[in-house]
């Protein structure tokens, strides 16, 4: 407890970042340490902060008084294997914390979510909705009684009713998630909307009324449902009664007018934007936001969530465009620190105090509190305790041309020991494709990339086709043909060589999840490009991945969509690393958690076994009871320390690694 308290009680400091010309590589274990703070929230009256904090290698909840009362902070520990999600104050006494953990159900790894409610006055807490709540259940799953997996889905926090919130979960044997009004203290609940097997998502308007239900039937053929309830009515109508809407229309929310629903639409463009659909007039009445180069991300509301004031999207980093004359203290802070990303975390009810996360690509940053009346900014905590920004690499935006002429957006991070652009020549490099694969990288702090740069490597991260946010054509080009994504990674590597930036004898390919898959298949298809290969939680057997998908709800649908990226079964086999493992020749690093739900552990075991037929020197590490993300700090530290050893053994210690 003492170490835990010292972390927060060292005093608040101003938001000042200093630069220095002295560089030193932080030990590998520092990158394996979990962030000091995972998420934080401020009480509505601004007197307390609740946060997930690193308590000697695992997360717990800390309550901190910032009202000048002198009350001591106190920690709330969590059981082994429990991991943090979001944290929020329901009112000035009750903290709600979303938690999850991996479990094994009938031999299949799953994640189970819950909400922990804690009364800071009574210093007591409880799980609101339990996974094994069987008080009314008569249904069975296999040999077990009714098992509720998702117990932390909040639809609406009901700002006008701080004692309740609206949640979505299946009760008893109901065919789909119902809308339940839940007491934030006791967990007692009352159904306000019956579920349906074809609806998984519910949407409320800004008054807290349930207005929209949307979802899929769990069949092999995609068939969407969209049901809409008019304001003040108890009856529901199909989307077919609303011209211009589709069953799979993206729903973003409502304006302050309960008849105005905000939807996503391409409107004849390649990117998606925000449009207002008037449910009374049954038509789109106006455009809210549309960027020609990037897909929209979401809506920005005012402090008390009564009005939409802007839209968010990702270009190189997180961007916000405010509407009309709207301005916010948060936007003023962004202008004040233009070289940093300022992400909203929480605020008081009157918006007098705002919690933000501030960082940039070369600075992990921290959590700060902004006083909107005085514009004073004070630091709550750094995100990483022992990774100084002065020892991190510079991140630059680049674009390279793929073999068919497509421009690929990418980021190059150079070692901190490089001080002039003329030094970017024949450097050791790490090619680092992102996971997903339908995600994307942006220009912000990346602890994995910065680990490599501090070891003296340049890092290339590309948003290959299939990546999100660049419009429909860019996304579909990769999703409809996975080989294109692989070729874009390969072309990025060749671009580095053609420009003379990278040393082909000391360039490796690495990745996590899909990125690990891309690293393995890249080394098989173009072994001459890479000196070593690193795969963390990587996919190795595509056919087995498809079979694993089918073990989950909507698995057949996901598998069907997945297969659209390949021509036939032979193409799937041709692009499965495990089927071609014997072709690998260079050093290979494999790591995987035994309770990985995203990519099952047998993918690792099968690849490790198949590599015995190759001439590759293999380093293989398995982490017991670990998930896809290496959430256990001990395991994460071991991963980075072993990875450093592997790199030095495979290609030698980089001369650009600062002492």
CATH number, domain at 624?
3.40.50.1820
Phi/psi at 484 (nearest 5 deg)?
Answer: -60, -40
What pLDDT does residue 347 have? 87
Which percentage of the chain shows pLDDT scores above 90?
A: 60
Structure tokens at 514: 């899909």
pLDDT in tens, 294-322: 999 999 887 677 888 889 898 887 788 88
Instruction: Locate 77 and state its tokens.
Output: 């520990």
Residue by residue, DSSP assigns 503-533 as: EEEEEEEEEETHHHHHHHHHHHH-GGG-SEE
20 within a domain of the structure (yes/no): no
Band (pLDDT 50/70/90 cuts) for residue 326 is: low
Is the pLDDT at 510 greater than 50? The verdict is yes
Determine, yes or no, domain membership for 120.
no
Q: Cα separation of 583 and 577, whole Å?
A: 9
Query: Does residue 643 fall inside a structural domain?
Result: yes
Least confident of 467-471, 562-566, 652-656: 562-566
Q: Rounded to whole angstroms, how far apart are CA atoms 1 and 18?
A: 31
What is the reported pLDDT for 616?
Answer: 94
R_g of the chain, CA atoms, integer Å: 25
pLDDT, tens digit, 9 for 90 and up, residues 446-498: 999 999 999 999 999 999 999 999 999 999 999 889 899 999 999 999 999 99
> Residues 129-139: what's their mean pLDDT?
54
Q: Is the full-model pTM beyond 0.85?
A: yes
Token pair listed for 165 = 């919130």
Is position 347 within any domain? no
Give the pLDDT score at 15: 28
pLDDT band at 132, cuts 50/70/90? Answer: low
Of 172-181, 389-398, 409-418, 636-645, least confident by mean pLDDT is 172-181
Compute the distance between CA of residue 455 and CA of residue 653 in angstroms, rounded to an integer.
8
pLDDT of residue 3 exceeding 80: no
CA distance 588 to 531: 10
In this predicted structure, the answer to whether residue 133 has a pLDDT above a threshold of 80 is no
Say if residue 19 is preceded by a cis peptide, omega within 30 of 0: no
Please check the confidence at residue 161 and state whether its pLDDT lies above 80. yes
Angstrom distance (rounded) from CA 428 to CA 371: 45
Torsion, Cα of 230, 234, 235, 238 (10° steps): 50
Cis? peptide before 437, omega within 30° of 0 = yes
Task: Please indicate, yes or no, if residue 170 is contained in any of the structural domains.
Answer: no
Contact 545, 575 (CB under 8 A): no
pLDDT tens-digit map of 514-536: 999 999 999 999 999 999 999 99
The answer to the question of residue 326 being in a domain is: no
- The predicted pLDDT at position 325 comes to 59
Of the ranges 23-27, 55-59, 128-132, 591-595, the best mean pLDDT one: 591-595
As a whole number, the mean pLDDT across the chain is 87
Pick the closest to residue 272 from 252, 304, 294 (CA basis).
Answer: 294
Comparing 131 with 657, the larger pLDDT belongs to 657
CA distances from 108 to 271, 436, 552, 595, 599 (A): 38, 21, 9, 9, 11
CB 545 within 8 A of CB 573: no
In a domain, 313, yes or no: no
Beta carbons within 10 angstroms of residue 631's beta carbon: 20
Among 26-30, 35-39, 285-289, 315-319, which is the least confidently predicted range?
A: 315-319
Q: Which two tokens stand for residue 584?
A: 């690998």
**Which residues lie closer than 8 Å to 259 by C-beta, 6 or more apart?**
231, 278, 279, 280
228-267: pLDDT as tens digits: 998 888 889 999 999 999 999 999 999 999 999 999 999 9
pLDDT at 117 over 90: yes
Question: Could you tell me the maximum CA-CA distance found in the chain, to the nearest angstrom?
Answer: 71
Q: Is residue 425 part of a domain?
A: yes
**Per-residue pLDDT at 20:** 40
Residue 2 in this model has a pLDDT that exceeds 80: no
Q: Is the pLDDT of residue 138 over 80?
A: no
Q: Is the pLDDT of residue 552 over 90?
A: no
Domain that holds residue 431: 391-651
| Mean pLDDT in residue range 31-35 | 92
The two tokens of residue 559 are 């598998």
- Per-residue tokens: 153: 């889905």
> Which pLDDT belongs to residue 17?
30
Domain count, the chain: 1
Model pLDDT for residues 195-204, shown as the tens digit of each residue: 888 899 999 9
The pLDDT assigned to 547 comes to 87
Backbone angles phi, psi at 604, to 5 degrees: -65, -50
Give the count of beta carbons closer than 10 Å to the beta carbon of residue 123.
Answer: 10
Helix 514-525, helix 482-499: angle, nearest 10: 70
Task: Assign 42 a pLDDT band (cuts: 50, 70, 90).
Answer: very high
The predicted model gives 610-628 an average pLDDT of 95
Residue 538: other Cβ atoms inside 10 A: 28
């Amino acid at each position: 407890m003492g170490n835990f308290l010292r972390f927060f009680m060292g005093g608040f400091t101003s938001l000042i970042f200093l630069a220095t010309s002295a560089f030193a590589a932080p030990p590998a274990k520092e990158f394996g340490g979990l962030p000091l703070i995972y998420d934080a929230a401020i009480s509505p009256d601004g007197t307390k902060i609740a946060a997930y904090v690193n308590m000697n290698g695992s997360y717990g909840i800390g309550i901190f008084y910032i009202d000048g009362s002198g009350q001591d902070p106190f920690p709330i520990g969590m059981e082994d294997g429990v991991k943090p999600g979001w944290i929020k104050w329901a009112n000035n006494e009750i903290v709600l914390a979303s938690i999850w953990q991996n479990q094994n159900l009938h031999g299949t790894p799953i994640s189970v979510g819950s909400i922990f409610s804690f009364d800071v006055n009574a210093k007591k807490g409880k799980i609101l909705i339990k996974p094994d709540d069987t008080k009314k259940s008569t249904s069975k799953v296999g040999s077990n009684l009714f098992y509720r997996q998702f117990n932390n889905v909040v639809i609406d926090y009901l700002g006008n009713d701080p004692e309740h919130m609206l949640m979505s979960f299946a009760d008893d044997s109901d065919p789909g998630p119902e809308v339940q009004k839940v007491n934030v203290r006791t967990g007692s609940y009352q159904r306000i909307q019956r579920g349906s097997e074809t609806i998984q998502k519910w949407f409320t308007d800004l008054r807290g009324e349930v207005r929209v239900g949307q979802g899929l039937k769990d069949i092999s053929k995609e068939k969407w449902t969209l049901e809409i309830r008019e304001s003040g009515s108890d009856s529901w109508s199909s989307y077919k009664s609303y011209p211009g809407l589709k069953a799979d229309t993206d729903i973003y929310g409502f304006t302050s007018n309960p008849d105005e629903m905000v939807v996503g639409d391409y409107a004849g463009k390649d990117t998606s934007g925000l449009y207002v659909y008037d449910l009374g007039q049954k038509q789109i009445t106006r455009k809210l936001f549309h960027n020609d180069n990037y897909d929209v991300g979401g809506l920005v509301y005012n402090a008390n969530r009564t009005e939409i004031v802007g839209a968010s999207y990702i270009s190189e980093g997180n961007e916000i465009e405010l509407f009309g004359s709207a301005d916010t203290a948060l936007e003023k802070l962004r202008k004040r620190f233009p070289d940093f990303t300022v992400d909203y975390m929480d605020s008081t009810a009157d918006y007098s105090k705002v919690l933000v996360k501030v960082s940039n690509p070369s600075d992990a940053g921290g959590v700060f509190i902004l006083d909107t009346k005085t514009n004073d900014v004070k630091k709550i905590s750094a995100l990483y305790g022992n990774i100084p920004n002065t020892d991190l690499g510079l991140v630059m935006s680049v674009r390279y041309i793929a073999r068919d002429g497509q421009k690929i957006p990418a980021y190059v991070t150079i070692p901190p020991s490089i001080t002039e652009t003329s030094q970017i020549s024949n450097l050791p490099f790490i090619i680092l494709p992102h996971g997903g694969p339908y995600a994307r990288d942006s220009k912000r702090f990346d602890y994995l990339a910065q680990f490599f740069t501090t070891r003296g490597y340049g890092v290339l991260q590309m948003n290959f086709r299939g990546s999100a946010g660049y419009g429909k054509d860019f996304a579909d080009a990769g999703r409809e043909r996975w080989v294109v994504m692989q070729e874009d990674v390969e072309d990025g590597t060749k671009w580095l060589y053609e420009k003379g930036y990278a040393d082909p004898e000391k360039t490796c390919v690495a990745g996590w999840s899909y990125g690990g898959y891309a690293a393995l298949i890249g080394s098989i298809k173009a072994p001459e490009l890479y000196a070593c290969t690193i795969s963390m939680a990587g996919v190795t057997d595509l056919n087995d991945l498809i079979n694993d998908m089918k073990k989950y709800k909507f698995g057949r649908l996901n598998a069907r969509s997945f297969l659209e990226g390949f021509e036939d079964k032979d193409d799937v086999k041709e692009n499965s690393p495990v089927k071609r493992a014997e072709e690998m020749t260079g050093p290979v690093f494999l790591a995987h958690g035994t309770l990985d739900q995203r990519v099952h552990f047998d993918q690792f075991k099968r690849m490790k076994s198949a590599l015995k037929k190759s001439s590759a020197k293999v380093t293989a590490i398995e982490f017991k009871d670990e998930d896809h993300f290496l959430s256990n700090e001990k395991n994460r530290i071991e991963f980075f320390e072993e990875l450093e050893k592997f790199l030095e053994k495979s290609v030698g210690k980089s001369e650009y690694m600062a002492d």
